[in-house]
Amino acid sequence: TAHGAAAPTVGRPHGAQYTAEAFAAVYGAAPTGTWAAPGRVNLIGEHTDYNDGFVMPLALPHTTLAAASPRTDGVLRLHSGDADGGIVELRVDALRPAPQAGWAAYPAGVVWAMREAGLPVGGADLHFESTVPTGAGLSSSAALEIVTALALNDLYALGQEPQQLARLAQRAENAFVGVPCGIMDQTAAACCTEGHALFLDTRDLTRRQIPFDLAGEGLRLLVVDTRVKHELGDGAYAERRAGCERGARALGVRALRDVSYAHLPEALEQLADEPAVQALVRHIVTENHRVEEVVARLDAGRTRAIGPLLTAGHASLRDDFKISCRELDLAVDTADAAGALGARMTGGGFGGSAIVLVEEADAPAVGAAVTQAFAAAGHAAPRIFEAVPSPGAHRIE
Ligand code: ADP
Ligand code: MG
């Protein structure tokens, strides 16, 4: 970092004190407060959030912390222990949504979105420290946005609910940063709770906290960060998104969410002369169905029984949505062959991370099998850690 500290260690969040001290070193005074927002994995429901569908993320123990103080002169100063380039200084009344490079667009975009919404937010000094791996499909961008949103919400007494902060952060990422993401990641960072997965309907934003007590049941959820990010990601996302919209139009529905699982065969028949769109529709409709099945099985206390749904979700992303890659396939196939209950890629695809549901006793062997398979295939070593369902964004000091 800019101040000589070691790089963040996965699984060991920087504390509030470390972050407050770093803030003081950068800005010359103690911060008013310190806030945290987590990264996430999505248990099931991939690419459904821009089709008005269902998702089921859970928060990671890895967090982005912000130490912050308000300013009375309309100046916004941003500094991150995980980014080079020193302090970024902006005027809040001069913020304009031009898709722009640079990490500071994420927090600056949140301030812009709040002001656009008529919220009385002024200047601030912010310093960030994070243990969320960036660009690993674990949503470090949403953690950065939501921790900023929560800090400003408190500093300026804006009175926004977590879901409203998520909406503002999504607007920031869409319109200010220029990334056409759905609402899942920001909602996960803002609304997840410890020991639960969050069942979210992305159409009406109704949510339900589903108890997900892995440790209590003798289970583990592993994250395999492949540490690869294949370039075609951004263009492919826009393409998939456009294909889904095309499918919805062809079927005469508002969004693919409105195609029921029971009517999938007819829908596919209707799309017979557009096989590429057909495959996208099949993924979205079966994926929404899998989310509902996962919820049903968890509600019935059958946590182990969600494993095959995870693996089926991976096959659908690989074969129909075509957004997997050989590293993700290798992680999933190896984990399943080594005795995992189920595994799937999580996040946008083309790299990033996979999740593996495994019996506690089998976790070391399954992890070792994946590491070995990567070495044998000549891939860089993956980073493997545990996803413990953790709290959403909160103030820590
Ligand atoms: P993901 O959200 O999956 O981690 P993204 O590409 O959406 O991947 O977001 C990663 C980007 O977010 C980084 O390249 C950087 O610009 C920004 N970012 C995330 N966390 C931080 C942080 N702690 N400090 C500075 N920038 C960050
Ligand atoms: Mg992101």
From 64, 66, 67, 42, select the one nearest 55 (Cα to Cα): 42
Q: Which ligand is nearest to the CA of 351?
A: 1
Residue 295 CA: distances (Å) to CA of 119, 184, 197, 221: 36, 17, 10, 17
Binding residues for Mg(2+): 141, 173
Say yes or no: CB of residue 186 within 6 Å of ligand 1. Answer: no
Say yes or no: CB of residue 80 within 6 Å of ligand 1. Answer: yes
DSSP alpha helix (H) spans, 88-161: 105-116, 140-155
pTM of the model: 0.95
Per-residue pLDDT at 385: 97
From 352, 333, 125, 351, select the one nearest 343 (Cα to Cα): 333
Expressed in angstroms and rounded, the spacing between residue 195 Cα and the centre of ligand 2 is 23
Tokens encoding 139: 């949503």
Tokens encoding 9: 């260690």
Rounded Cα distance between 237 and 255, Å, is 17
Expressed in angstroms and rounded, the spacing between residue 130 Cα and the centre of ligand 1 is 10
Per-residue pLDDT at 290: 98
Say yes or no: CB of residue 140 within 6 Å of ligand 1. Answer: yes
From 228, 223, 194, select the one nearest 345 (Cα to Cα): 223
Per-residue pLDDT at 72: 98
**Secondary structure (3-state) at 352:** strand
Q: Specify whether 185 is catalytic.
A: yes
Per-residue pLDDT at 232: 66
Say yes or no: CB of residue 83 within 6 Å of ligand 1. Answer: yes
Q: Active-site residue among 52, 125, 185, 225?
A: 185
Expressed in angstroms and rounded, the spacing between residue 144 Cα and the centre of ligand 2 is 9
Give the residue ranges of the chain where pLDDT is below 70. Answer: 1-13, 99-101, 232-233
Residue ID of nearest Cα to ligand 1 atom 7: 141
